[in-house]
A and B are shown apart, each in its own frame.
Chain A
Amino acid sequence: MNARRDHDEVRQALREAFPPVDTALRRDLWPLMQRRFHAQRPRVAWYDWALAGVVGGAIVVFPDLFLVLVYHL
């Protein structure tokens, strides 16, 4: 009986203290979702680009190096 009364009183007090929230979504969240996807795409570090540039340049200057590279890969 007391528990029931406590329950009802607490519920009443909470409903008075917490006004109803607006549950309607006011905008499309898809653009935010796309941003989240974009943020998760792996980014290539600058030193990886630098290494690729050095290797590419070396192959242009010394074409035989390409075969050595392929062999080691």
Chain B
Amino acid sequence: MNLLQRFSQGDQEAFEALFKQFQAEVYGWIVRIVRDSGAAEDLTVETFWRVYRARGRFDCEASFGAWARRIATNLAIDHLRRRRPEVDLPEDLPNGTSADPVLRREKHAQIVAAFRRLPPKLRVSATLSLIEGQSHQEIARALGTSAGAVRVRVFRAVRLLREYLPRSGGRS
């Protein structure tokens, strides 16, 4: 009986072995989404807790890493949903090409605030695609959707950011 089969039957040692093998990968994925190492650690543990509880439903022929990543992504989205800030943006934003470090910092803060206003599912797709440079295929696997759906989400995120930041974004 292999490790995954032992895990799916509730073997604690098999679970520990899988945890130690995949914890860094799951953490790395989560921290890319939530961008907070403390929250990412907690969410990693929560992911494996859910993995352990759902062990009976795990298909031993499937990829454990992909399954864990999908659970992790859903938890990260829930985390973003809970932490979603209510932010009001001022009308006038500094120009994106400003050489003034204060204005540039201000502009970055506005972009971060605008980004956090995005619905969590769009935010995750945009984070992984636009900031982290992950492929649509990879993101789609983690979200349990199609690459086309991810493309649409990224497109919508870009459009919303354009609406939230009407006078910024690098056009001078």
Contact = CB atoms under 8 A, between A and B. Distances in A.
Q: Do A and B come from one complex?
A: yes
Contacts of B16: 30
A15 B28 CA distance: 18
A14 B171 CA distance: 14
Interface string B34-59: 01010001101110110000000000
Contacts of A6: 158-159, 162, 169
A17 B116 CA distance: 12
Task: Name the prevailing secondary structure of the A interface residues.
Answer: helix
B41 A29 contact: yes
A40 B48 CA distance: 14
A28 interface: yes
A21 B76 CA distance: 16
Interface residues of B, number: 39
Interface in B23-41: 23-24, 27-28, 31-32, 35, 37, 41
A30 B33 CA distance: 22
B82 interface: no
B102 interface: no
Nearest to A39: B49
Given A9-B169, A16-B108, 12 more contacts: A3-B155, A7-B154, A7-B155, A10-B161, A10-B169, A14-B130, A17-B108, A17-B109, A18-B131, A23-B31, A30-B23, A32-B45
Interface of B: 16, 19-20, 23-24, 27-28, 31-32, 35, 37, 41-42, 44-46, 48-49, 96, 107-109, 111-112, 115, 126-127, 130-131, 154-155, 158-159, 161-162, 168-171
26 contacts: A7-B155, A7-B158, A9-B170, A10-B130, A10-B169, A13-B169, A14-B131, A15-B131, A16-B111, A17-B107, A17-B111, A17-B115, A18-B35, A18-B131, A21-B32, A21-B37, A22-B37, A25-B27, A26-B37, A29-B19, A30-B16, A30-B19, A33-B45, A33-B48, A33-B49, A36-B46
